[in-house]
């Protein structure tokens, strides 16, 4: 659980009492490769912190699996739309490696927000940072070519390429697997 504490502290310090309360509300989840944390059609009731392993979020469109994010160590993971809106989502969250996470339920988290304002603050701040990242990704998607997006990914997250299959990376970049393969061979 140290990793989570360190991760949170990087965003904003929290009080010891808030951390203790949070610790008590967390449940450890260990699941093998290729299992599902969240499946489409269900309400995602938990926010997770990924301590070890690797996941992807994807949904099905016209019979294809569309991967739109990857999660690695020290990332917060949830089906955001469903978790926030309390409605069933279209998203599946699948482990790509054996993974260990810490989870907290929506109810428990919101109870903690009432009791520990510094916890609510740090979550607000983390949300803001995740928003900025999403904004950057949208810009890249909107105004860069496939090759530029791939090169940007290479720079910012070289580890993705070692842990994720080509087809899934292509989907994440919004291009076909064949195109990515060709970009990669410098053609």
102 binding a second copy? (CB under 8 A): no
5 binding a second copy? (CB under 8 A): no
- For binding to DNA (CB under 7 A), which residues are involved? 145-147, 165-167, 174-185
Of the CA atoms within 13 Å of residue 153, those in its CB half-sphere come to 27
124 binding a second copy? (CB under 8 A): yes
Q: Residue 120: which of DNA, a second copy, none does it interact with, CB under 5 to 8 A by kind?
A: a second copy
Do residues 47 and 103 make contact, with C-beta atoms less than 8 angstroms apart?
Answer: yes
How far is the C-alpha of 53 from the C-alpha of 32, rounded, in Å? 9
Q: Residue 176: which of DNA, a second copy, none does it interact with, CB under 5 to 8 A by kind?
A: DNA
49 binding a second copy? (CB under 8 A): no
**Which residue's CB is nearer to a second copy, number 20 or number 135?**
135
How far is the C-alpha of 90 from the C-alpha of 58, rounded, in Å? 8
Do residues 92 and 40 make contact, with C-beta atoms less than 8 angstroms apart?
Answer: yes
How far is the C-alpha of 165 from the C-alpha of 126, rounded, in Å? 29
Q: Which residues bind a second copy (CB under 8 A)?
A: 61, 66, 68, 80-81, 84-85, 113, 117, 120-121, 123-124, 127-132, 134-135, 137-139, 141-143, 174
């Amino acid at each position: 659980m140290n990793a989570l504490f360190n991760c949170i502290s990087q965003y904003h310090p929290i009080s010891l009492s808030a951390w203790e309360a949070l610790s008590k509300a967390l449940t450890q989840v260990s699941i093998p490769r290729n299992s599902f944390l969240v499946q489409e059609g269900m309400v995602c009731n938990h926010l997770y912190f990924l301590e070890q392993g690797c996941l992807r979020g994807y949904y099905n469109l016209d019979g294809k699996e569309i991967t739109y994010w990857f999660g690695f160590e020290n990332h917060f993971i949830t089906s955001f739309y469903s978790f926030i809106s309390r409605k069933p989502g279209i998203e599946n969250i699948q482990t790509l490696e054996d993974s260990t996470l810490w989870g907290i339920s929506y109810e428990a988290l919101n109870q903690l927000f009432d009791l520990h304002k510094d916890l609510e603050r740090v979550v607000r701040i983390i949300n803001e940072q995740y928003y900025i990242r999403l904004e950057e990704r949208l810009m890249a998607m909107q105004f860069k070519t496939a090759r530029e997006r791939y090169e940007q990914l290479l720079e910012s997250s070289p580890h993705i390429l070692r842990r994720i299959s080509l087809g899934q990376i292509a989907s994440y970049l919004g291009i076909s697997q064949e195109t990515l393969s060709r970009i990669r061979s410098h053609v």
